[in-house]
Amino acid sequence: MTVVLFISVALIAACGLIYELVAGTLASYLLGDSVFQFSTVIGSYLFAMGVGSYFSRFITRGLVARFVSIELLVGLVGGFSSAALFLAFAYTQGFRLVLYAIVIAIGIFVGLEIPLLMRILKNRLEFRELVAHVLTFDYLGALGASLLFPILLVPKLGMVRSALLFGIINAGVALWSTYLFRDQLGARGILRISCAAVLVMLGAGMAGAERITQAADANLYADEVIFARDTRYQRIVLTKWKDDVRLFLSSHLQFSSRDEYRYHEALVHPGLAALPGARRVLVLGGGDGLAVREILKYPDVQSITLVDLDPEMTGLFSTHPYLATLNAHSLINARVHVINADAFSWLDQNTDSFDFVVVDFPDPTNYSLGKLYTTAFYRLLGRHLSMQGLAVVQSTSPLFARQSYWCIVETLKQAGLKTYPYHVYVPSFGEWGFVLAGLNPYEPPLRLPAGLRYLAAAEVPPLFQFPNDMLPVDAEPNRLNDQVLVRYYERDWREIAH
Amino acid sequence: MTSTRRQFLSAALIGLARKTDRPVAGGFVDDGHQMGHKLRDRAPFAPAKQAIRIPLVIVGGGIAGLSAAWRFDKRGFRDFVLLEMQERAGGNARWGENEVSPYPWAAHYVPVPGKKAALVRELFEDLGVLRAGVWDERHLCFSPQERLYLHGRWQEGIEPLTEATAQDREEFRRFAARAHEFRATGQFTIPMEMGATPSPLDNLSMDDWLQQERFNSPSLHWYINYACRDDYGALAHDTSAWAGIHYFASREPEEKGPLTWPEGNGWITRRLLEKLGSYVRTGCMVHRITREGRKLRVSAGDIDYIADCVIFAAPSFLASHVCEDAPPARLVYSPWLTANLALDRLPAEHGFETAWDNVIYDSPALGYVVATHQSLRTHIDRTVWTFYWSLAEGSPSENRALLLAKDWNYWKEAILTDLERAHPDIRQCVSRIDILRLGHAMARPVPGFLGSEQRRRLTESSGNLLFANSDLSGFSIFEEAQYRGVKAAERALERL
Peptide bond into B328 cis (omega under 30): no
What does the CA dihedral B470, B475, B479, B482 come to, rounded to 10 degrees? 0
Q: In sequence order, what are the residues at sequence separation of 6 or more whose Cβ sits closer than 8 angstroms to the Cβ of residue A465?
A: none
Residues A64 and A178 in one domain: yes
Per-residue confidence (pLDDT) for residue A241, from 0 to 100: 77
Q: Do B378 and A482 touch (CB under 8 A)?
A: no
% of chain A with per-residue pLDDT over 70: 95
Segment (H or E) for B443 = strand B430-443
Strands B295-300 and B286-292 turn out to be antiparallel
Q: DSSP code of B31?
A: -
| Separation between Cα atoms, residue A220 and residue A213, nearest integer Å | 10
* Angle of CA points A213, A217, A223, to nearest 5°: 145
Residues A293 and A411 in one domain: yes
Residues A151 and A205 in one domain: yes
What CATH number does residue A464 fall under? 3.40.50.150
Question: Average pLDDT of A330-350?
Answer: 96
CB contacts, 8 Å: B255 with chain A: 481
Q: Do A481 and B353 touch (CB under 8 A)?
A: no
Q: Per-residue confidence at A211, pLDDT binned at 50, 70, 90?
A: confident
Q: Do B142 and A366 touch (CB under 8 A)?
A: no
Of A344, A375, A481, the CB nearest to B257: A481
| Separation between Cα atoms, residue A450 and residue A246, nearest integer Å | 26
User: What are the sequence ranges of the domains in chain B?
Assistant: 35-98+262-330+446-495
% of chain B with per-residue pLDDT over 70: 95
| Separation between Cα atoms, residue A21 and residue A85, nearest integer Å | 13
| Separation between Cα atoms, residue A219 and residue A226, nearest integer Å | 13
User: Could you tell me how many helices (H) and strands (E) chain B has, helices first?
Assistant: 14, 21
CB A463 within 8 A of CB B123: no
In terms of Cα–Cα distance, which of B224, B192, B184 is closest to B207?
Answer: B224
What CATH number does residue A22 fall under? 1.20.1250
Q: Is the pLDDT of residue B321 over 80?
A: yes
Residues A272 and A390 in one domain: yes
Q: Which domain holds residue A18?
A: 2-217
CB contacts, 8 Å: A480 with chain B: 137-138, 140, 142-143
Of B143, B256, B375, the CB nearest to A367: B143
DSSP-assigned states of every residue in A119-162? HHHTTTS-HHHHHHHHHHHHHHHHHHHHHHIIIIIIIIIHHHHH
Q: Is the pLDDT of residue B123 over 90?
A: yes
Question: Average pLDDT of B399-428?
Answer: 95
Residue of chain B with shortest Cα separation from A342:
B377
Q: Per-residue confidence at B18, pLDDT binned at 50, 70, 90?
A: very low
Q: Do A367 and B256 touch (CB under 8 A)?
A: no
Query: Mutating which of B137, B156, B376, B379 best tests the A interface, going by the most A Cβ atoms within 10 A?
Result: B376
In terms of Cα–Cα distance, which of B371, B156, B422 is closest to A483?
Answer: B156
In terms of Cα–Cα distance, which of A432, A453, A456, A452 is closest to A444?
Answer: A456
Q: Per-residue confidence at A1, pLDDT binned at 50, 70, 90?
A: low
Question: Average pLDDT of B291-305?
Answer: 93
Q: In sequence order, what are the residues at sequence separation of 6 or more whose Cβ sits closer than 8 angstroms to the Cβ of residue A85?
A: A22, A23, A26, A27, A30, A95, A98, A99, A102
Domain boundary among A201, A217, A233: A217
* Angle of CA points B451, B453, B458, to nearest 5°: 105
Q: Do A376 and B138 touch (CB under 8 A)?
A: yes
Please give, rounded to a whole number of angstroms, the shortest distance from the CA of A234 to a CA of chain B. Answer: 10
Per the model's pLDDT, the better-predicted residue between A1 and A177 turns out to be A177
Q: Which of A28-37, A201-210, A229-238, A258-267 has the highest mean pLDDT?
A: A258-267
Per-residue confidence (pLDDT) for residue B394, from 0 to 100: 92
Give how far the C-alpha of residue B175 lies from the chain's centroid of Cα atoms, to the nearest Å. 26
Give how far the C-alpha of residue B332 lies from the chain's centroid of Cα atoms, to the nearest Å. 15
Question: Average pLDDT of A162-173?
Answer: 92
| Separation between Cα atoms, residue A357 and residue A392, nearest integer Å | 6
Per-residue confidence (pLDDT) for residue A214, from 0 to 100: 63
Per-residue confidence (pLDDT) for residue B11, from 0 to 100: 38
Residues A275 and A184 in one domain: no
Residue at B375: amino acid letter: S
* Chain A residues bordering chain B (beta-carbon distance below 8 Å): 232-233, 309, 342-345, 348, 366-372, 374-376, 479-483, 486
Per the model's pLDDT, the better-predicted residue between A233 and A470 turns out to be A470
Query: Mutating which of A480, A483, A489, A491 best tests the B interface, going by the most B Cβ atoms within 10 A?
Result: A480
CA atoms within 13 A on the CB side of A112: 23
Q: Does domain B35-98+262-330+446-495 have CATH number 3.50.50.60?
A: yes
Please give, rounded to a whole number of angstroms, the shortest distance from the CA of B252 to a CA of chain A. Answer: 17
Residues A269 and A402 in one domain: yes
In terms of Cα–Cα distance, which of A53, A54, A70 is closest to A62?
Answer: A70
- Residue A132 CB coordination number (10 Å): 12
Surface of B (257-296) touching A: CB under 8 A: 257
Establish if A18 belongs to a structural domain. Answer: yes
Q: Do A345 and B376 touch (CB under 8 A)?
A: yes
Question: Average pLDDT of B106-118?
Answer: 92
SS3 assignment, position A178: helix
Establish if A191 belongs to a structural domain. Answer: yes
Q: What are phi and psi of B475, to 5 degrees?
A: -150, 155
pLDDT tens digits, B193-247: 999 999 999 999 999 999 999 999 999 999 999 999 999 999 999 999 999 999 9
Domain boundary among A153, A187, A217: A217
Per-residue confidence (pLDDT) for residue B408, from 0 to 100: 96
Per-residue confidence (pLDDT) for residue B8, from 0 to 100: 39
Residues A182 and A310 in one domain: no
- Residue B44 CB coordination number (10 Å): 7
| Separation between Cα atoms, residue B413 and residue A21, nearest integer Å | 50
Number of folded domains that form chain A: 2
Q: Do B378 and A372 touch (CB under 8 A)?
A: yes
CB contacts, 8 Å: B381 with chain A: 232
Of A342, A348, A481, the CB nearest to B142: A481
SS3 assignment, position A264: helix
Please give, rounded to a whole number of angstroms, the shortest distance from the CA of B232 to a CA of chain A. Answer: 26
Chain A contact for B19, CB < 8 A? no
Instruction: Point out the least confidently predicted range of A14-28, A88-102, A434-448, B308-322.
Output: A88-102
CB A163 within 8 A of CB A17: no
Q: Do B143 and A343 touch (CB under 8 A)?
A: no
Strands B357-360 and A385-394 turn out to be unpaired
Q: Per-residue confidence at B163, pLDDT binned at 50, 70, 90?
A: confident
In terms of Cα–Cα distance, which of B159, B86, B118, B120 is closest to B357?
Answer: B159
In terms of Cα–Cα distance, which of B259, B324, B333, B276 is closest to B297?
Answer: B324
CB contacts, 8 Å: B380 with chain A: 368
Q: Is the pLDDT of residue B6 over 50?
A: no
Instruction: Point out the least confidently predicted range of A46-60, A80-94, A105-119.
Output: A80-94
Q: Do A344 and B377 touch (CB under 8 A)?
A: yes
Q: What are phi and psi of A318, to 5 degrees?
A: -90, -30
Residue at B425: amino acid letter: D
Surface of B (355-384) touching A: CB under 8 A: 375-381
Q: Do B138 and A480 touch (CB under 8 A)?
A: yes
Of A345, A366, A481, the CB nearest to B137: A481
Segment (H or E) for A385 = strand A385-394
% of chain B with per-residue pLDDT over 90: 81
Q: In sequence order, what are the residues at sequence separation of 6 or more whose Cβ sits closer than 8 angstroms to the Cβ of residue A135?
A: none
Segment (H or E) for A370 = helix A367-370
Q: Is the pLDDT of residue B2 over 50?
A: no
Domain boundary among A165, A196, A217: A217
Give how far the C-alpha of residue B76 lies from the chain's centroid of Cα atoms, to the nearest Å. 31
Q: In sequence order, what are the residues at sequence separation of 6 or more whose Cβ sits closer than 8 angstroms to the Cβ of residue B272?
A: B66, B67, B69, B70
Residue of chain A with shortest Cα separation from B140:
A481
Q: Is the pLDDT of residue B5 over 70?
A: no
Residue of chain B with shortest Cα separation from A374:
B137
Per-residue confidence (pLDDT) for residue A224, from 0 to 100: 64
Per the model's pLDDT, the better-predicted residue between A348 and B163 turns out to be A348
Per-residue confidence (pLDDT) for residue B262, from 0 to 100: 97
Question: Average pLDDT of A189-216?
Answer: 84
What does the CA dihedral B151, B153, B158, B159 come to, rounded to 10 degrees? -40
First to last CA, chain A: 45
Where would I find the beta strands (DSSP E) of A221-353?
224-230, 235-241, 244-249, 252-256, 280-285, 303-308, 336-340
pLDDT tens digits, B329-352: 688 999 999 999 999 999 988 889
Q: Do B138 and A482 touch (CB under 8 A)?
A: no
Residues A436 and A340 in one domain: yes
Peptide bond into A270 cis (omega under 30): no
Q: Is the pLDDT of residue B422 over 90?
A: yes
Per the model's pLDDT, the better-predicted residue between B12 and A339 turns out to be A339
Q: DSSP code of B335?
A: E
| Separation between Cα atoms, residue A151 and residue A154, nearest integer Å | 7
Residue of chain B with shortest Cα separation from A210:
B350
Per-residue confidence (pLDDT) for residue B144, from 0 to 100: 96
A355 in catalytic set: no
Catalytic residue among A288, A360, A363, A492: A360
Residues A191 and A278 in one domain: no
Of B137, B140, B378, the CB nearest to A344: B378
Q: Do A368 and B140 touch (CB under 8 A)?
A: no
CB contacts, 8 Å: B377 with chain A: 342, 344-345
Give how far the C-alpha of residue A429 lies from the chain's centroid of Cα atoms, to the nearest Å. 14
Per-residue confidence (pLDDT) for residue A225, from 0 to 100: 66
Instruction: Point out the least confidently predicted range of A360-364, A445-449, B18-22, B390-394.
Output: B18-22
* Whether this model's pTM surpasses 0.80: no
Residues A310 and A450 in one domain: yes
In terms of Cα–Cα distance, which of B447, B446, B417, B443 is closest to B430?
Answer: B417
List beta partners, residue A338: A306
Q: Do A483 and B143 touch (CB under 8 A)?
A: yes
